[in-house]
């Protein structure tokens, strides 16, 4: 289902082929390494991530999270696992994530892992 969603985004011209390939690898990683993730949180995360990669490719970088909000993210019990997840996935990402986007992705990963 997640890969179908990514394919729809690719076919609709919302994301590029390289982003689609990256997202399929992320989905495979999630299925093998984080099977506890529910379908709805995974669907929301993969959409956010795909759009973030497209934004970065177009040099449309978001502002950093508010420092207080990011401190809350860092206090989440899921934060250490989220950092591990992010680092593992960004190792094969087709773009370099600026810190502002990396913070947002950490927030989304924490939310996804919290279920």
CATH number at residue 92: 1.10.1790
Burial of 68 (0-12, 13-18, 19+ CB in 10 A): exposed
DSSP state of 91: T
pTM for the full model? 0.90
pLDDT tens figures, 60-106: 878 888 899 999 999 999 999 999 999 999 999 999 999 888 999 99
- Strands of 1-115, DSSP E: none
Query: How many distinct structural domains can be found in the chain?
Result: 1
Residue 13: which region, alpha, beta or left (left: phi > 0; alpha: psi -120 to 50)?
Answer: left
pLDDT for residue 76: 95
State residue 64's pLDDT score: 81
Residue 107: give the domain boundaries.
Answer: 2-114
């Amino acid at each position: 289902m997640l890969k179908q969603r990514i394919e729809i985004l690719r076919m609709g011209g919302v994301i590029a082929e390289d982003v689609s390939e990256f997202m399929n690898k992320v989905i495979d990683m999630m299925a093998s390494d984080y099977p506890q993730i529910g379908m709805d949180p995974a669907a929301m995360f993969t959409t956010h991530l795909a759009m973030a990669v497209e934004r970065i490719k177009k040099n449309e970088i978001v502002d950093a999270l508010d420092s207080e909000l990011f401190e809350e993210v860092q206090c989440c019990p899921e934060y250490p696992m989220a950092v591990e997840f992010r680092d593992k996935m960004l190792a094969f990402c087709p773009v370099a994530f600026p810190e502002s986007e990396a913070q947002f992705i950490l927030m989304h990963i924490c939310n996804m892992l919290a279920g």
